[in-house]
Each structure stands twice: as C-alpha cells, then as structure tokens.
A and B are shown apart, each in its own frame.
Chain A
C-alpha cells in the first residue's frame, strides 16, 4: 500500500515538473489541443463503455472529489510555516487546496450559462411564435443583450460611453427594479395583516402575541409607549430577551437537526449510497 502511495506521489511530482509547466506561443496551443483531444478520447471511451461502467465512473469521480476535502480536513495537521504565513498549519494535502478550489470555482462559473440557455430557449420560442406575449420576450432579450454586450466590452474597451451606458442600465434600471420587486411585499403584508392574520387557535395567538411584542420592541414607538414602566417591562428589553433566549434556543435546535441531516445526506452522496433519478442513472 505504501509502495503504491509512493509511486503515485512520484508520478504526480514528475508530471508536475515536466507536464504541468507554463507554456507560451505555439507550445501553449499544442498543449490546449492535446488537453481537448485527451478529454474527447476519455469521453468517447466512456461513451462506448456499458452503462454500469459509466455509473461506477460517476460514483468514483464523486468519491475522489469529496475524498480530497474530507481527507484534508480529517488528516492530522502539523505546523507548516511559510515565508508569508509563519503560523500556517496543514498536512500533505493542504498545499493543493488552492488549486482544487480554484478548479471548482472555474467549473461553477461556467454553469452560469445553464440558466441563461434555459431562459433563452423559452423566450426565444415565444418570440419566434409571435403573439401578444412576444413583446415580453423581446423585453427580456433587450435587457439581456444590452447589458451583456456593454458589460463584456467594459474591460477591453474601458471608455466613457461603455461605462455610462452600463451605469444607466445597471444603476438606473436593474437596481430600481430589484428594489421595487421586494418592496411590493410590504403592501401584501398589510393586506394579509388585515384579512388573514387571525387568532383561530392558541398557537396562533401565541405566535401573533410574540410577533406584536417583537414589532413594538424593534421600533421607537414601542419604547415611547413603555418608557414609564419598569425596565423589565420595556418592549425593547422584552424583545431582546425573546430573541436571545427562547428564539435562539429554538433556532439552535432546528440548526442541530438541519446540520445532522445535511451531514447524513452529504455522506450518502459522497459514498454513492443515495438513490434517485440522478444516482440510478444510465
């Protein structure tokens, strides 16, 4: 076992000193072409393989991706001072955390286009079909294309017109639309407060009473109303007590349950024990 680990590390070090070195000019494009060709070959081999091999490959990828971070966290750490950080502690995997997380970050950034493609598909079909809803899809594409083009041009062509147009669309339109969307809920709350917030049960009464005390405690009006009472009966004191004692305790209990559940699900996903449409795939 130790021999294989040594062999793996030796191979890794050899690759990192010979293969994974920065290249420029023609060598760079050759390396890129080679990497793409290698990926196509791997995918072609997997494509030709039976479904069961593919299923186990997916599970292996999941296991290895998770194993790195799990081992990095669980393996004992020791002092590893660097020139920049004398207090640095880690293990043999810690120097590679930066590379792996940057890799995962770039992968995540590429997925932004997924939602975009989905929306573009939906609204594109609606626009082509025409009809009374086509104008809304046109508005969607206008917003997307205008801010997309101007925003992407900002870095290579950082001139005044690009900057000002982007500011106009971003600060003038998007920020105001964003702020307004969430402020509409305040009106709905007022309507619901009058029509729907009814004390039909003891639990509802307790909930509403707590809410009213918290609401009064978080405004100056509540403080004015109870300023002449003893300190313990001031609404802001009662509110602080509710938030820091029963509320914090209840939220902690919920947090414990959520955290244990997340860990259980994470373990099941990592070890390939999960069942479902993704995990029982072809």
Chain B
C-alpha cells in the first residue's frame, strides 16, 4: 500500500529529473554493452575476453525518406532547387538536423539552391548553417547557393514568385541584386525550378502545393521535411503524390544522415531519443498499472 501511495503521489519534479538523466547520459557517453569474446590462450585453452563495445543502434530508412533522397540523387547536375527553411529556433531540434542533412546532400551533388523563408528567423539560421558547410564542399555564396531572405505573406509572395522569380525576390538577404548572382542564371519562373523542399514546423508546405507545385506539376516536384507533429497530416499528400516524400522529424534526419554516410547531430541524438521514448512508455504503463491496482484496492475496501 505504501508503494501504491507513493506511485499515486510522486512529485512531478522527480519525473523531470529522470527525463533529464535519460536524455543527458547517452549524449555524454555512447551506450556500451559488455561483450565476451572467446579466444585461445597461449596453452590452447579457451580464454574469454571481456570488453565494453559501443552499441550501435540500427537505422531503418522509411520509404518516405528514401523517396526524397532518391529524387535529389536523380537530379541532373546544375539543376536548381528551392529550399524553404520555414522554421525558427523553437523547432531547431528537428528541423535543424534535417536542413543540415539536405544541404549536405545538395552540396555533395553540386546542385544549385536558393533559400527563401516565411519565418523571420529562418534566413539567419539557414545562412549560418550554409556558411558553415560550404567550405567542406567547395561551395560559394552567390555562385552555388543564395539566401533570398524572409518574405511576409507566403500566399501572395508565391503567386508573384512563380511568374517572376527575380521580380518577386530582387535582392538576396545581404542586399545584393539577385540578377547578378551566377546561381540564379537562367532562373526566371517556376518552370526553371526542378524541386522545392519545404522544411517547416507548420503547414507552410500546403501553400507551396496550392500555388507552386499544383500549377507547375509537369516539371516541378515537391518534398517536405517536417516536424513529427506535422508529419501525420503530410502523409495524405505523400499518398496522393503531391509530395514525393517527407522527412519526419528527428528520425527522418537520422535516416537521411545514414543514407549520406554522415554522422551528424541527428545520429548523435539517436540513443537519447530511443531512451526517452522508452521512459515515456514506461511511465504510461506504470501510471495505468497504478490506476488499476488502486481500483482493485478500492473495490476490496468497498467489499469489506
């Protein structure tokens, strides 16, 4: 009964502390498992060796992530991609690794891209990310990539953008005329864009579908990288092929890094993510077990 009482009245701060430990410990040190290797000693006897080896969590790539990867892989060199990092620091945990993984892939494939954002924080965060990665792949701002900055009113901007790219976004984020940048050579309208990727924590991808992918679907494809909250709704669009694929949250970023053969921030967070999920499932089960035990105890008391 004392245990039952404790389970029913446990302080929430203890739960918070347990969550912190579950998340922090795997980040501090990789999960290791004890392994035993049997070898032969000098006298030919079996000689066990005990060792702690890092436990590598398996990564299975979902079809939705693979479709995005395959699409970028199949783009001809010098194609033009519109990347839309429509996210703020509030969703950096998921959208940040996704943006980094997608940028790495585009840079690795030598594909030109321009970034446009409908969130005020988007241009600053994504520009810093691109500048950090560009040296690794020999990319230069203005030549291989550019940042078109923040645009208010997504609906009206896209209606203008699809007809006249340079007119709708005459300057880049740093004030340079877009027409003078080699990356924008030959890009006049949506007909010249091969792929749009919206990285978002909201439903901004639906505006791209309504005003960009829909009218230009013969040559323009659309993919999305969304937070896990938005991904279930986006499955509808993946099913109808309006989106060719979708990266789902941190898991999508982990899968994409696995496909790229890169071990970035997402892969490092895999163990913490798994451990925290197990903790929450444990709490759900424990809470319900405590409720059932309490009901049984109350029924017994009523019978008495």
- A and B touching (C-beta < 8 Å)? yes
Binding site for B on A (CB under 8 A): 69, 84-85, 87-88, 94, 97-98, 101-102, 104-105, 108-109, 112, 155, 170-171, 174-176, 178-179, 181-183, 186-187, 189-191, 193-195, 197-199, 208, 212, 215-216, 218-221, 223-224, 227, 234, 236, 240, 243-244, 247-248, 251-252, 255
How many whole Å from A205's CB to the nearest CB in chain B?
Answer: 10
Give the docked Cα–Cα distance between A252 and B280 (Å): 29
In chain B between 56 and 78, which residues have their CB closer than 8 angstroms to a CB of chain A?
A: 57-60, 62-64
Residues of the B chain whose Cβ atoms lie less than 8 Å from the Cβ of A88: 163, 189, 191
Top-10 shortest CB links A-B? A220-B57, A175-B89, A108-B153, A84-B188, A178-B89, A221-B274, A101-B160, A219-B274, A101-B156, A194-B283
User: Would B160 and A98 count as touching, CB distance under 8 A?
Assistant: yes
User: Would B239 and A248 count as touching, CB distance under 8 A?
Assistant: yes
At the interface with chain A, which of B97-105, B134-142, B230-238? B230-238
Nearest residue (CB) in A for B88 is: A178
Query: In this assembly, does B41 line the interface, its C-beta being within 8 Å of a C-beta of chain A?
Result: no
User: Would A190 and B279 count as touching, CB distance under 8 A?
Assistant: yes
User: Would B152 and A219 count as touching, CB distance under 8 A?
Assistant: no
User: Would A105 and B160 count as touching, CB distance under 8 A?
Assistant: yes
Query: In this assembly, does B259 line the interface, its C-beta being within 8 Å of a C-beta of chain A?
Result: no
A-contact 0/1 string along B269-304, CB 8 Å cutoff: 011011111111101101110010000000000000
Question: Which of A102, A190, A247, A248 makes the CB contact (< 8 A) with B283?
Answer: A190
Give the docked Cα–Cα distance between A248 and B63 (Å): 15
Residues of the A chain whose Cβ atoms lie less than 8 Å from the Cβ of B271: 220
At the interface with chain A, which of B12-20, B43-51, B109-117? B12-20
Residues of the B chain whose Cβ atoms lie less than 8 Å from the Cβ of A97: 159-160, 163
Give the docked Cα–Cα distance between A246 and B187 (Å): 40
User: Would A105 and B153 count as touching, CB distance under 8 A?
Assistant: yes
Nearest residue (CB) in B for A94 is: B163
How many whole Å from A7's CB to the nearest CB in chain B?
Answer: 28
Query: When A109-B153, A175-B121, A252-B236 are in contact, do A218 and B251 touch as well, CB less than 8 Å?
Result: yes
Residues of the B chain whose Cβ atoms lie less than 8 Å from the Cβ of A170: 121, 124
User: Would B284 and A212 count as touching, CB distance under 8 A?
Assistant: yes
Q: A179-B92, A252-B236 are in contact. List 20 more A-B contacts (CB 8 A).
A: A84-B189, A85-B188, A97-B159, A101-B159, A175-B92, A190-B279, A191-B12, A194-B287, A197-B287, A198-B287, A199-B288, A208-B284, A215-B281, A219-B251, A220-B274, A244-B64, A244-B235, A248-B236, A251-B232, A251-B236
Give the docked Cα–Cα distance between A236 and B277 (Å): 14
User: Would A193 and B280 count as touching, CB distance under 8 A?
Assistant: yes
Query: In this assembly, does B93 line the interface, its C-beta being within 8 Å of a C-beta of chain A?
Result: yes
User: Would B124 and A194 count as touching, CB distance under 8 A?
Assistant: no
Residues of the B chain whose Cβ atoms lie less than 8 Å from the Cβ of A84: 188-189
User: Would B16 and A85 count as touching, CB distance under 8 A?
Assistant: no
Residue of B60, B151, B291 with highest tally of chain A CB at under 10 A: B60
User: Would B58 and A240 count as touching, CB distance under 8 A?
Assistant: no
Residues of the B chain whose Cβ atoms lie less than 8 Å from the Cβ of A197: 284, 287-288
Instruction: Pull 15 A–B residue pairs with CB atoms less than 8 Å apart, ordered by A.
Output: A69-B159, A101-B160, A104-B156, A112-B152, A179-B90, A182-B90, A189-B280, A190-B283, A208-B284, A221-B57, A221-B274, A236-B62, A240-B62, A244-B238, A251-B236
Residues of the A chain whose Cβ atoms lie less than 8 Å from the Cβ of B236: 248, 251-252, 255
User: Would B91 and A85 count as touching, CB distance under 8 A?
Assistant: no
User: Would A223 and B58 count as touching, CB distance under 8 A?
Assistant: yes
How many whole Å from B162's CB to the nearest CB in chain A?
Answer: 9
User: Would B153 and A243 count as touching, CB distance under 8 A?
Assistant: no
In chain B between 206 and 240, which residues have their CB closer than 8 angstroms to a CB of chain A?
A: 228, 231-233, 235-236, 238-240
Question: Which of B58, B90, B164 makes the CB contact (< 8 A) with A98?
Answer: B164
Query: When A240-B63, A247-B235 are in contact, do A190 and B189 touch as well, CB less than 8 Å?
Result: no
Give the docked Cα–Cα distance between A247 and B233 (Å): 8
Interface of B is mostly: helix
Residue of A84, A176, A194 with highest tally of chain B CB at under 10 A: A194
Residues of the A chain whose Cβ atoms lie less than 8 Å from the Cβ of B286: 194
User: Would B15 and A191 count as touching, CB distance under 8 A?
Assistant: yes
Query: In this assembly, does B106 line the interface, its C-beta being within 8 Å of a C-beta of chain A?
Result: no
Residues of the A chain whose Cβ atoms lie less than 8 Å from the Cβ of B3: none
Query: When A221-B274, A243-B235 are in contact, do A101 and B157 touch as well, CB less than 8 Å?
Result: yes
Residues of the A chain whose Cβ atoms lie less than 8 Å from the Cβ of B152: 105, 108-109, 112
Give the docked Cα–Cα distance between A176 and B121 (Å): 12
Query: In this assembly, does B248 line the interface, its C-beta being within 8 Å of a C-beta of chain A?
Result: yes
How many whole Å from B145's CB to the nearest CB in chain A?
Answer: 20
Residues of the B chain whose Cβ atoms lie less than 8 Å from the Cβ of A182: 90-91
Give the docked Cα–Cα distance between A94 and B162 (Å): 12
Nearest residue (CB) in A for B58 is: A223
Residues of the A chain whose Cβ atoms lie less than 8 Å from the Cβ of B12: 191, 195
Nearest residue (CB) in A for B96 is: A179
Question: Which of B58, B62, B63, B284 makes the CB contact (< 8 A) with A220?
Answer: B58
Query: In this assembly, does B175 line the interface, its C-beta being within 8 Å of a C-beta of chain A?
Result: yes
How many whole Å from A70's CB to the nearest CB in chain B?
Answer: 13
Query: In this assembly, does B1 line the interface, its C-beta being within 8 Å of a C-beta of chain A?
Result: no
User: Would A193 and B163 count as touching, CB distance under 8 A?
Assistant: no
Query: In this assembly, does B52 line the interface, its C-beta being within 8 Å of a C-beta of chain A?
Result: no
